Amino acid sequence: VKFRISEFYQQYPKGKIRTSLMRFDRQNNNPGFVESVLIKAEVYRDDATLLAEAYSQRRCEPQEPSFFECAETVAIGRALSDAGYSVYSEDLGDDPCKRKIMLDDGSFYLKAGFRIAWARREMPQMLIRKEILLMTPYQAIVKATIENEGEVLATAHAMRVWSDAHAAGHFFLESAETAAVARALSMIGYDLPMGRTRQLFRSSCKCRLLYTTVRSRSNARIWNRTVSTILPDRCDVMPG
């Protein structure tokens, strides 16, 4: 992360990196003991121009006594990655779709990092916003919004739950955040092949955002969240 920070300040000497403690949870049987923290990091090109933001949650673990500092560092690193400071930007190449990997079902997938780097290369002033709609110790729902020059291009949502089946399952918030961003970028063509197909899609689609309300019942509580989808008013080529 320190190399990303250095690279960022080289490009933006007046840039700002700000962090905030969004919430902390105390242990039930020991109110004086903080069990987990949620940190938000924001990256600004100058005093007022936001480039990216990211969240990170960490719990107190025996093998990670500095969990607060760890959460803050991870949030900063993820925000800088969304701002374009990552290995994905360096490895993007002329045709980002060549970076797709084959999944177990035979389909091809472009990692979120490459989608972000690709979009950032074409839209240097792009802003990636995140909003946590639901956050519990075992579940997170995140909304991602892609903006460029004040215009909302797409929004998307993702949900992840805690899992002990693999290491990444402990970082369900970050996973939901990444998935939401990847889905939003996919909606504006950042997983389509280079060439005429993608050009037609990008140029002929006049996008309209539709919002609906989703209601879900859990433990006798009802929560509402806004889900958006992106629809073309007219589009000669739809993404496959």
* pLDDT of 108: 86
Sheet holding 127-136, edge to edge: 16-27, 30-44, 50-59, 127-136, 139-148, 151-161
**What own/partner pairs with CB < 8 Å and gap ≥ 24 does 118-123 have?**
118/92, 118/185, 118/190, 119/146, 119/185, 119/188, 119/190, 120/83, 120/84, 120/89, 121/84, 121/89, 121/92, 123/148
3-state SS, residue 182: helix
Is the pLDDT at 209 greater than 90, yes or no?
A: no
Cα–Cα distance between 125 and 85 in angstroms, integer? Answer: 14
Stretch among 64-78, 145-159, 202-216 having the lowest mean pLDDT? 202-216
Backbone angles phi, psi at 202, to 5 degrees: -70, -35
pLDDT band at 218 (very low <50, low <70, confident <90, very high): very low
Q: How many CA atoms lie within 13 A of 47 on its CB side?
A: 0
Decide which of 225 and 41 is more confident.
41
Check pLDDT > 70 for residue 29. no
> 45 and 15 in contact (C-beta within 8 Å)?
yes
- The owner of tokens 């607060």 is 68
Q: Are strands 101-102 and 108-109 parallel, antiparallel or unpaired?
A: antiparallel
Instruction: Between 198 and 25, name the one with better pLDDT.
Output: 25
- Predicted confidence band of residue 203 (pLDDT cuts 50, 70, 90): low
Is residue 42's pLDDT more than 90?
Answer: yes
Query: How many Å separate Cα 94 from the centre of its chain?
Result: 24
What is the average pLDDT across 211-221? 36
Q: Which residues neighbour 117 within 8 Å (Cβ) at sequence distance 6 or greater? A: 84, 86, 88, 89, 92, 96
